[in-house]
Every structure is written in C-alpha cells, then in structure tokens.
C-alpha cells in the first residue's frame, strides 16, 4: 500500500502559540479519514498543511510523494481537491453554477477568457449530477441554498480528478435534511473504489458518512488517537478529546454522541 500522506513531527507555531504540536500521521491509498476534534484543536491548520497551502514550522509533511519545501506547490495543488469555507467565500456569486465547477479545471474562481473543451464541460455536468444538483447548472450560484452550494463546492473540488480530496466542515450550516443529503452523497463517494483518498473534517460524529474507514481525533494541536474508525471512536477517546464525559452509540452505519449522565 503506498502512502498518500506522511506527516512526521509536524509543528506549526505562530508567535508564541503552538498550533500543531509534533503531529505524526500516515494515510494510505483507499482510506477514507474523518478528522474530528473540538474548536481550536488545529483541524483547519492540519488541512492547510496537507493541502500544500501552508508549510510546517518544523517537521516533514510528504503529500502524494512530494515533501513540502522541496516541491513546486503549484504542480502539487491540482492533484489535491479542497473544499473549505475560505475557498467558498472566493466563489463569485454572479457566476453560473456550471462555471463554478468548470473553472476549477484552470484553478480559477471566475470565468474569463479561458476556453474549455467538451470533455471539461461533460465532466462538470457529470459531477453536478453525481451530487444531485445538475438541474441547477444554469442557475446563478448566489441564488442557491447553503446545502446546494455545499454540493456544488464538492463537485468543484473533484473537477481536476484529484488523488486526494479534502473537505473542511462540509456540513457546517446545513439543516437536518441538507446534512442527511450530504452524508448520503459522501457515503456514496466513500464506497466508490474509483474515488480519491478522502479526508473529511467535522465537529460532529453524526456527520460521519457510512463507508469512512479511519479517524484522527485531535486535541489542543496534537493527536488524541488515530486509526481504524471503530477502534478509535470510543467513549473514552471522545471524552478525552472534548474534555467532558460522553457516551457513543453506533447503529445503521451511523454514530451518535451525547453527554454521559
């Protein structure tokens, strides 16, 4: 099995704060990871490193076989799909939904004078269909609901056919129906062997889609536990990570957590 991510002693410091503290993490081909942890644990910072958007202050981060600091990140980034709130804010609200997905082929966020071939066009259509939003292709992006936007953002992140797909809190701001639709779409993606390696950051165990295989549980810039999902997602580990006594339940492929009484 080849290594898709290999982080060794990855540390990020800003001023006097240590945001990531000597993180070791390996991800292999075919794995689907959840990154879970409380606010401020360092999840987004970790994702910025593996997205080749940030370099560690110390330690080594090898992403898709390339070690950050020794590689041209502009060659590496198209191989990584990223969907995050920060990127979503840069999408022009006046753009047609189809173009929001299509422009990812050139790594831009607004259609200008680039020309796209029929294959690109077809791929954008297929991705919108895969996430159940193909009927919105001609709508203006700014008129979509939050749940519809989230699905368009994931379709966009897949446009370059990445080897690694990073999703930073794709369920944030969704209502119950929107969350359940997203969980179903991500579950389908997870169970397709042709899908890239997936890393899905969330705060909520209820958002873990069936088909995800591994869990990285973070706490205060470090790792509380990491490994196969069913081994790591225990009441003890979750209680330690979130700093309160929790009970965990598992059924029908889904997870639930609540405070212990």
Ligand X SMILES: Nc1ncnc2c1ncn2[C@@H]1O[C@H](COP(=O)(O)OP(=O)(O)OP(=O)(O)O)[C@@H](O)[C@H]1O
- Please, what is the minimum distance in Å from the beta carbon of residue 186 to ligand X? 19
Closest-CA residue to 158 (of 204, 115, 113, 100): 100
In whole angstroms, give the CA distance from residue 109 to residue 123. 17
DSSP 8-state class, residue 68: T
| Interaction of residue 37 with ligand X, rule CB under 6 A | yes
Question: Looking at 40, 228, 243, 253, which residue binds ligand X (CB under 6 A)?
Answer: 40
Residue 52, strand partner residues: none
What mask, x for binding ligand X by CB under 6 A, covers residues 199 to 218? ----x---------------
| Interaction of residue 39 with ligand X, rule CB under 6 A | yes
Alpha-carbon Rg for the chain, nearest whole angstrom, is 18
Kind plus residue range of the DSSP H or E element containing 218: strand 214-219
| Interaction of residue 56 with ligand X, rule CB under 6 A | no
| Interaction of residue 137 with ligand X, rule CB under 6 A | no
CB-nearer residue toward ligand X: 19 or 185: 19
Kindly state the tokens that stand for 188. Answer: 């389908």
User: Are the C-beta atoms of 121 and 140 separated by less than 8 Å?
Assistant: no
Task: Give the interface size with ligand X as a residue count (CB under 6 A).
Answer: 12
Question: Looking at 1, 2, 16, 17, which residue binds ligand X (CB under 6 A)?
Answer: 17
Binding interface with ligand X (CB under 6 A): 14, 17, 19, 37, 39-45, 203
């Amino acid at each position: 099995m080849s290594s898709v991510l290999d982080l060794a002693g990855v540390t990020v410091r800003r001023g006097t704060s240590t945001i990531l503290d000597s993180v070791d993490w390996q991800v292999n081909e075919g794995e689907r990871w959840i990154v879970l942890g409380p606010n401020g644990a360092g999840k987004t910072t970790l994702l910025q490193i593996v997205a080749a958007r940030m370099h560690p202050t110390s330690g080594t981060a090898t992403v898709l076989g390339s070690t950050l600091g020794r590689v041209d990140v502009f060659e590496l980034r198209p191989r990584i799909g990223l969907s995050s709130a920060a990127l979503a804010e840069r999408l022009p609200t006046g753009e047609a939904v189809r173009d929001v997905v299509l422009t990812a082929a050139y790594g831009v966020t607004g259609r200008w004078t680039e020309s796209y071939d029929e294959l690109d066009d077809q791929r954008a259509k297929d991705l919108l269909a895969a996430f159940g939003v193909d009927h919105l292709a001609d709508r203006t992006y700014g008129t979509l609901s939050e749940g519809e936007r989230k699905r368009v953002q994931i379709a966009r992140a897949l446009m370059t056919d990445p080897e690694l797909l990073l999703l930073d809190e794709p369920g944030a701001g969704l209502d119950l129906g929107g969350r359940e639709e997203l969980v179903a779409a991500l579950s389908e993606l997870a169970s397709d062997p042709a899908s890239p390696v997936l890393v899905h950051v969330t705060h909520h165990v209820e958002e873990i889609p069936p088909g995800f295989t591994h869990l990285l549980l973070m706490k205060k810039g470090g790792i509380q536990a990491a490994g196969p999902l069913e081994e790591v997602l225990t009441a003890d580990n979750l209680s330690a990570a979130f700093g309160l006594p929790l009970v965990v339940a598992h059924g029908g492929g889904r997870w639930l957590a609540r405070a212990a009484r």
